[in-house]
Structure 1
Amino acid sequence: MPVLQSPPGADDRAPARSGSRRPHPYETGRPPRTDAFLVGREVERQLVVGAVDGADKRGQALLITGEPGIGKSSLLRAASQRARERGCCLLEATGVESEEGLAFAGLQLLLRPVIAAVRTLPPAQRKALATAFGLEEGPAPQPFLVGLAALNLLSEVAGTRPVVLVVDDVQWLDRPTAEALAFLARRLAGDPVVMVAGLRTGHDSSLLHAGLEAVELQGLDDVASRDLLGAVADHLDEVDREQVLRLASGNPLALVELPASWRSDRTAATRPGSSLGDAVPAPAPLSARLERAFAARLPELAPATRDALLVAAVDAEDELAEVLGAASVFTGAPVHAAVLEPAVRARLLTFDHARVRFRHPLVRSAILQSESASRRRAACAALAEVLGDQPWRRTWYRAQATTGPDEAVADELETAHAENLRRGSVTAAISALERSAQLTGSSARRGHRLLLAAELGFGLGEADLVTRLLGEAEAHALGELDRARLEWLRELPDDTDLRSARRITELVDLARRAATVDVDLALDLLVAAALRCHWGWPTSGVRDRVVTAVAGLAGTETDPRHVAALAVAQPLLQGRRVGNLLSRAGSSGQTDPEALALHGMAAFAVGDQPLAADLLRRAGAACRREGRLGLLTQVLALGSAVGMDLGDWRGAAAAADEAHRLAAETRQPTWRAGSTMTVARGHALRGEIAVARRLAAGLENDAGARGNVCAGASALLARGFALLDERRHAEAYAVLRRLFDHEDPCCHERERMPGIMFLAEAGVRAGRREDARSVVAELEDAARATPSPLLQVHLVYARAVLADDARAEPAYRSALEHDLARWPLVRARLELAYGSWLRRRRRPSDARVPLRSALETLEWIGASTWLDQARAELRATGDRTSSRDGVRREPAWQDRLTAQELQIARLAGEGLSNREIGERLFMSHRTVGAHLRHVFPKLGITSRVQLAALVAPRR
């Protein structure tokens, strides 16, 4: 129903009142033309209407921002009207401030008309949505699985007609709903679904960071302002009109509403305290003036109508029966719908047989601001009484009605926090714990509840929220265990120097004290300390303290955190021990994604890349099944680095690309930086030098700002690889050599391992063979202490290429006898170096065999730098099968696709359906189909059979 119309049975017009105020057009039965609020908004209206018109061709999401009254709601109404005219499935919802803490309330309201389609969803998604809405019992669903379920639900509905989502006041949506909508907005392009949302300027929302096309509304220009004012207030004389134009400052709602309260007595209209505000310098904000303009109509209403309006303003739902029931409790007498009709005539709201809607959010604000705190609390208490079948909402409103400490309500809220977690709403659980703490009398219990809330915020990656909650908790009488928990939680927002030995020592000492009563907390503290060791790479003595503390936790050897902490803190010295623990763990039957991820991290740290790849692949599949995008981000970032080491550069690039996108979506900047490390190396190795250097500079900034030695080491690797690609061998050697200088601030014993092979090559070409040998000799000592496959295979290469001519051939033969099946790049570069050596020894026939093998592998990997070398070497042997100079070669099929297209193509080639691919990559099956429609012509194929042949593993 259009907001400016009254409902059936409530459209009587109030007679003009006597007095000095002239009648407003609405009161005389002469409303402005239906598009009056869109005067001056032709461009914006066309953008919104055009999005709806094109919904059947392309999904789209628009975010309209602006100050109160600027016209956001009018544009949203235009979208809704167009959707109805075109026969679209229209779904609408409006955020309400009083229910920000109610999990998925907005999403449930939005999807209510189409919820029957939930039966078409895969079982896991159907269960997630039903549990989130409280329709079924079950374990807590992952928030992003709820988002995926909503996406596929809308995709199914859109199979018969386009869907248009119109959401107003998104700043007041409960956060789980806002996050679900942001998830949807990022993934609508392939579905006939359009979202148009309105956000008030100055407020934050997940949708603001979702990459939506934004439309920021400014005030109307003078011509449009005069046109609008003329349409709604032709009763004003010239002087009054100029005064309204000045006060309205181009705000459409002000141009419509201020004249309704205007008095012809200009002195009265502009004196301090009048309903229009003060005609003095620095007037009140326009929104305050508008609130006063709406509030000025309230005293004329009967007390019963004002009571019902207050209850409706407190209630976030728009159900008429609920409002009337609560109003009856509030007044102590039955209240019927007729009591709202005077409010309709005063242009404050509309209603029909089922719904109550305020004409503008500022009306709700005006009502709440005009009432006393005690009456607002009484309205909340009345609403709680009628919500017997909705325990969480009842508890929330009971809490809103409570003023001082109330242990019973505080306990109810703590119980409600567990219910919210079960429904998958972490943010609602945090709100419940915060309010519970406010109503708790005991200082120790209040601090404990704040810490529980902070721990949930930690899991969300909300650094600002965690910092605030920890600051509040710290002021209370915390016990020793809670003090230790507080210090562990400080690790999320901590921006101190990662090399700080003092901070690592503090975490170790806290872990030792906590271990006597809470081993889980002790392990969490030690993992935090170990991660600091990895990023900041302090002295070996500091890292040893972490290892000693972990080893002292008896009975935890089978805990994945124990293994990961040892590996991350001392990857070389603990490599053998970690390998034994991983072997003993026997992860073949493990299905828990967190355990697989921790074991994968441990294998990565000690350099067992083949094992890490297998563990992280399984962890990623489990994360996708369970919708755990936060953990999946970390798994992909680690997996991309592993793929780069193993020569799967395209797979690594696709994983890093997805990790980078998900890190932004799940708010994990550290892991976004981790994926950037892989991306920088990849660009350098593919010869994309400018991009590699730009990313390396960003990593160096992070290294300097936070003492992130790991990022600094990755930047050196990227720079060294780029210089090698440019044949600047002496400079490349100088850069890479820094990684092996213990005095250099970027020396990192684990992160330098992927650079050994490149250092050896640069050393030979730069005439620094002897110095490179001294580095290798030092690494040989480390290799005897650890079975690290990454270290061992790089040394295999380095020994061969650094050997004297007299010993070179047996060195190459010995190196190629190693099992390098999982290390194709190492093997190909060995073959290339060996073939080049044979050619220089005037043995062209012998040289062709390893060179052809190297060429084939390097083409498969996409290693352009060494690929060109292999072709040149083959030509020099007299081989004419390689490409001729100057002939443009068609790029490998993988290089014709974007990272996301490559992911989809590989999965489709493996035989997965569009729906199965969509479930894995968190997109709808229609979006998958849209991507494949781009993939096929790019590859020059027409069937999945042909795609499967391309994707088939290389033999």
Structure 2
Amino acid sequence: MLIGRASELTVLGAELARIEAGHRLLHVNGPAGIGKTTLVRHFLSESLVASLTARAAEEESGLPYGLLAQLVADGTGPELLQNLLRQVEDRPLVLVIDDAQWADGESLRALAFALRRLGSARLLTVIVTRSGTRLPTTFEHFLRDAHTVRLELPGLRPAELRELADALGTGPITARMAERLHAHTGGNPTHARALLARYPTDVLDSAVPLPAPPGYPVPALTPVARTLVEAASVLGVTAPLSLVAELADLTDPLPALDEAVAAGLLQERRTVGALGVHFPDRLRWAAVYHSLRPAARTLLHERATRLAGTEADTLWHRMQAATRPDARLAADLAGYARRQATNGHWTTAADHLAHATHLTPAPSLPAGGAGPACLLKAELVEALLADGRVEDAAALSAELADCPDPAVAAYAAGAVAHVADRLPEAVNLLTDAYEECGARQGDSSEPCGSWRADSSRLSGWAGTRLALLHLLDGRLAEGLEWARRVRTDLTGLLAFGATRHAAPLGRAVLQIWTDDLANGRHVLGGLAARAAELPVPARIAALVMLGQADHRLGDWAGAQAHAEAAAALADESGHAWLAGWAHATAAVVAAGQGEQARAEAHLRTTGTSALARVHLAWAQACLSHAQGDHGAVVAALMPLEATGRPPEPGVVPWPDLLAEALVALGRHERARAVLDRVQEVAEARQRHSALAALARARGVLHAALGEQETAEEWFETGLRHAGKVAMPFETARLQLAFGAFLRRAGRRTAAADLIELARTGFEQLGARPFEERCTQELAACGLNRRQDALGLTPQEQAVTRLVATGLTNNQVARELTLSVKTVEYHLSHAYTKLGVTSRTALAALVARGLP
């Protein structure tokens, strides 16, 4: 059973394809159990080429020509090699030498001699060796040839270990379990399979160190050396020798260390003035650690708590020494977790909260009381979501459905529903949790003290989520009312759960949306450099806003990188409520660059919040606008217009797109209504980016109505607003629209100057569809400064390019403001010059870059 290995199979397939040009040599190397033989066997089973395989055995390494005898039935000694060569010469072949480190020297020397002389043979030789072993010197030199392709086989990735667990029927295991299994086994499929088959999967999700696979050997040692190694295992994979010796109560640990190193159980790590010890891998450490008797192991952990140098180490040893629930230890773990969360260390915080829940006693409670463990689990749900472990949070939330307190159960379920983008369900559950907490706090019959404090914290979490949910669903008044109840503000909400960096992140979001682009981008760049300190939702938000800032500022490569990183993180972490926002931002950038397939892939994402719906509609409109499909722009954006709520200027710039598309479809009064509804708010906010876009759309509208003086005034107003905010794309769009207007008014020289500026701007951005429109407009001006090598006039070039996109003559005439007869005239001349007689042939020429 082969799991993963797609890239390795690609390498093997590529080498096989090259044998038509001569002999190819590939060396596959990796540790025992990593899956080398499984990989090669799977490759051979999928190949249509004949193969010969020999596998060496350690016990036969002294048998002369034993390996060659597996490949050829007849002959002895050197005759075997001659018979093998005859087989190689007859047909394409894959020759596999597995476990070559155990092969006899005679066979390897003979093979090296022969294979060096098979330059033209259609042969792929695959040599498989185990890491850490040696081959005969002559064969080592042969494998070091510059033409040898080397394939080091790594362990399986965590996602592939989850696939392995499913295939074995021992799964499913969570992403966190898979990560723990990967850290323990290095992804070695043999060791992972042995652990999965022997132990229940919940072992992977506990605080107890994972065991070694069954039967993993521990070499025999003298009692003193074993005492040293056992003490080292209690301190972890790596520890200072002085600390190990103190725990083992050894005055002189060096002789014991010598023995442990010789046995392969420990390695020394020496620095100036210090000596440490290290287990070569976690499996050897686990084998020693789990060979300790429970009483001895517990005693060593108790002693280690007095020697530990950090709070984390002390807590770890206290946990391993605990044999029953311990309220004090649970409180210490929870306190440490909260401090880690404040510093942005969410994985550590969630892990320690999980440990605290296991160690919290279950006291007798009055009816309806939640108890400390239940409340800690609600807090753990919050930490898991912040750490991007949505799957684990959902499992814990399901467990909390049986919690005796309805507020805790509702909060946990509501928080999970929120991140899963089930927003109506989330609002109902979180509201229930908030109201239940409020009722409890006002009920004098309820026990006071810690429960009152915990209830207040729970209501705060629920209220904060409700504030953010309402805000991102476009219900600003409700969102701010919830924010007031939980004593936060808009900046705090827009931090997306960040604590340590809440103010900078929330402020940066508002700065981008209010045209303070440079300062907002600077803050976001600093936060991105410390992304590991942010909860996953805040990390996604920071990347999305970086993408939007870069897009507006003109760094479209940076915008694409940041937006796609945000989308990938949202998908991988399970934060579906932010995925639509992230994918839409990436789609907008791709659409502007003319990358239709890339944009459409991002637009396959869905979202239920207004944040997602508005951004996805805007992104779809941007793609349709880039394609010149005015009807599709209107179809994408009219649902937003139909809500009746004027959009906040500068957040999602869609009204100008809708108005321009409506104008193109002749719906002038509807376009005017769209613009009027936003204009007053934009002017009140003095949002220059929005005012520039609206002025462009108004210029287009008045031009279509034949009101040339008013149109020109609006275009000039737009350029003045664009000059007050650094947004190259918006400036170039204004220049193009203004230039097109001037061309239609007969002012061709002035038009060409503006359009040339726009084309330069689009070219620098990589906005290919818009650069193409500039080329068409310049051609229609008759003043295109970039000459056509095939002798087409500018007008002919403009017509041919539009015809090649599939437009009819009538549509081309409308686009270029020409008569249909003029279009037909230019098209017939272009056909003659280009030597084509059909629109299909013309489109093929344009597809190849001509004209």
Does TM, normalized by the shorter one, top 0.5?
yes
Aligned to 1:388: 306
Which AA in structure 2 matches 1:722? L
- Are 2:488 and 1:548 aligned? no
Flag the 1:41–1:552 CA change in 2: closer, same or farther, 3 A. same
Aligned to 2:590: 683
Which AA in structure 2 matches 1:639? L
SS of the residue 2:654 aligns to:
helix
Query: 1:713 touches 1:748 (CA, 8 Å); kept in 2?
Result: no
User: Which runs of structure 2 are paired with 1:42-53 in the superposition (5 Å)?
Assistant: none
Query: 1:613 touches 1:639 (CA, 8 Å); kept in 2?
Result: no
Q: How many angstroms apart in 1 are the aligned matches of 2:182 and 2:564?
A: 16
Aligned to 1:560: 491
Aligned to 2:447: none
Aligned to 2:764: 860
Which AA in structure 2 matches 1:533? H
Displacement of 1:802: 0.9
Which AA in structure 2 matches 1:730? G
Flag the 1:45–1:426 CA change in 2: closer, same or farther, 3 A. farther
- Are 2:504 and 1:596 aligned? yes
1:734 to 616, 630, 635: 635
Q: How many angstroms apart in 2 are the aligned matches of 1:293 and 1:207?
A: 21
Query: 1:318 touches 1:357 (CA, 8 Å); kept in 2?
Result: yes
Query: 1:314 touches 1:379 (CA, 8 Å); kept in 2?
Result: yes
Aligned to 1:273: none
Q: How many angstroms apart in 2 are the aligned matches of 1:728 and 1:509?
A: 49
Q: How many angstroms apart in 2 are the aligned matches of 1:661 and 1:400?
A: 37
Query: 1:687 touches 1:865 (CA, 8 Å); kept in 2?
Result: yes
Cα deviation digits, residues 595-634 of structure 1 (max 9, x gap)? 1211233355xx42x1255224323225426864654542
1:833 to 723, 729, 737: 737
Larger deviation, residues 424-433 vs 508-517: 508-517
Aligned to 2:523: 618
Which AA in structure 2 matches 1:845? T
Flag the 1:492–1:810 CA change in 2: closer, same or farther, 3 A. closer
Displacement of 1:714: 3.4
Which AA in structure 1 matches 2:617? L
Aligned to 2:618: 717
Q: How many angstroms apart in 1 are the aligned matches of 2:345 and 2:61?
A: 44
Cα deviation digits, residues 627-651 of structure 1 (max 9, x gap)? 6465454223113224435655344
Query: 2:415 touches 2:426 (CA, 8 Å); kept in 1?
Result: no
SS of the residue 2:643 aligns to:
coil
- Are 2:691 and 1:792 aligned? yes
- Are 2:546 and 1:639 aligned? yes
- Are 2:847 and 1:847 aligned? no
1:291 to 209, 214, 237: 214
Flag the 1:674–1:315 CA change in 2: closer, same or farther, 3 A. same
Query: 1:831 touches 1:850 (CA, 8 Å); kept in 2?
Result: yes
Displacement of 1:379: 1.5
Q: How many angstroms apart in 2 are the aligned matches of 1:833 and 1:762?
A: 13
Q: How many angstroms apart in 2 are the aligned matches of 1:415 and 1:32?
A: 61
Displacement of 1:425: 5.3
Cα deviation digits, residues 766-809 of structure 1 (max 9, x gap)? 33334333433444466577655554333222221111544233
Flag the 1:657–1:312 CA change in 2: closer, same or farther, 3 A. same
2:466 to 529, 532, 537: 529
1:436 to 353, 356, 360: 356
User: Which runs of structure 2 are paired with 1:870-881 in the superposition (5 Å)?
Assistant: 870-881=774-785
Flag the 1:657–1:673 CA change in 2: closer, same or farther, 3 A. same
- Are 2:391 and 1:464 aligned? yes
Query: 1:757 touches 1:794 (CA, 8 Å); kept in 2?
Result: yes
- Are 2:294 and 1:376 aligned? yes
Q: How many angstroms apart in 1 are the aligned matches of 2:360 and 2:424?
A: 37
Q: How many angstroms apart in 1 are the aligned matches of 2:661 and 2:504?
A: 37
Q: How many angstroms apart in 1 are the aligned matches of 2:460 and 2:136?
A: 57
Displacement of 1:683: 1.6
SS of the residue 1:796 aligns to:
helix
1:771 to 670, 678, 687: 670
Displacement of 1:661: 5.9
User: Which segments of 5 or more consecutive residues in structure 2 lack a partner in the other structure?
Assistant: 1-30, 33-57, 71-94, 102-128, 142-151, 159-170, 195-209, 269-275, 364-370, 443-452, 793-851
Q: How many angstroms apart in 1 are the aligned matches of 2:675 and 2:647?
A: 16
Displacement of 1:678: 1.5
Q: How many angstroms apart in 2 are the aligned matches of 1:724 and 1:535?
A: 26
Flag the 1:830–1:655 CA change in 2: closer, same or farther, 3 A. same
Aligned to 1:813: 713
Displacement of 1:352: 7.6
Query: 1:764 touches 1:802 (CA, 8 Å); kept in 2?
Result: yes
Cα deviation digits, residues 563-599 of structure 1 (max 9, x gap)? 889xx9xxxxxxxxxxxxxxxxxxxxxx984312112
SS of the residue 1:291 aligns to:
coil
Larger deviation, residues 752-761 vs 483-492: 483-492
Flag the 1:79–1:741 CA change in 2: closer, same or farther, 3 A. farther
Query: 2:544 touches 2:582 (CA, 8 Å); kept in 1?
Result: yes
Aligned to 1:450: 377
Flag the 1:327–1:855 CA change in 2: closer, same or farther, 3 A. closer
Q: How many angstroms apart in 1 are the aligned matches of 2:180 and 2:629?
A: 42
Flag the 1:378–1:595 CA change in 2: closer, same or farther, 3 A. same
Aligned to 1:869: 773
Flag the 1:508–1:811 CA change in 2: closer, same or farther, 3 A. farther
RMSD between aligned residues: 6.0
User: Which segments of 5 or more consecutive residues in structure 1 lack a partner in the other structure?
Assistant: 5-29, 47-73, 87-164, 172-199, 220-250, 255-286, 569-590, 889-955
User: Which runs of structure 2 are paired with 1:300-339 in the superposition (5 Å)?
Assistant: 316-317=236-237
Tell me the TM-score normalised to structure 2 length: 0.56
Which AA in structure 2 matches 1:767? G
Q: How many angstroms apart in 2 are the aligned matches of 1:634 and 1:564?
A: 8
Tell me the TM-score normalised to structure 1 length: 0.51
SS of the residue 2:721 aligns to:
coil
Q: How many angstroms apart in 2 are the aligned matches of 1:691 and 1:624?
A: 27
Aligned to 1:410: 330
Aligned to 2:655: 756
Aligned to 1:15: none
| Number of residue pairs aligned between Structure 1 and Structure 2 | 608
Flag the 1:406–1:514 CA change in 2: closer, same or farther, 3 A. closer
Displacement of 1:680: 0.8
Larger deviation, residues 396-405 vs 311-320: 311-320
1:401 to 283, 307, 321: 321
Q: How many angstroms apart in 1 are the aligned matches of 2:668 and 2:155?
A: 68
User: Which runs of structure 2 are paired with 1:132-531 in the superposition (5 Å)?
Assistant: 291=214, 316-317=236-237, 350=265, 361=283, 364=286, 368=290, 375-386=293-304, 388-391=306-309, 392-414=312-334, 417=337, 426-441=346-361, 443=363, 444-470=371-397, 486=412, 489-490=415-416, 493-497=419-423, 502-503=428-429, 505-506=431-432, 509=435, 525-531=462-468
Displacement of 1:385: 0.8
SS of the residue 2:594 aligns to:
coil
Cα deviation digits, residues 388-412 of structure 1 (max 9, x gap)? 3315434423322322233344345
Which AA in structure 1 matches 2:480? V
Q: How many angstroms apart in 1 are the aligned matches of 2:413 and 2:396?
A: 13
Aligned to 1:159: none
Which AA in structure 1 matches 2:756? R
Query: 1:325 touches 1:335 (CA, 8 Å); kept in 2?
Result: no
Q: How many angstroms apart in 2 are the aligned matches of 1:637 and 1:594?
A: 16
SS of the residue 2:386 aligns to:
helix
Q: How many angstroms apart in 2 are the aligned matches of 1:210 and 1:694?
A: 33
Cα deviation digits, residues 747-766 of structure 1 (max 9, x gap)? 98889952222223323333
Q: How many angstroms apart in 2 are the aligned matches of 1:351 and 1:210?
A: 22
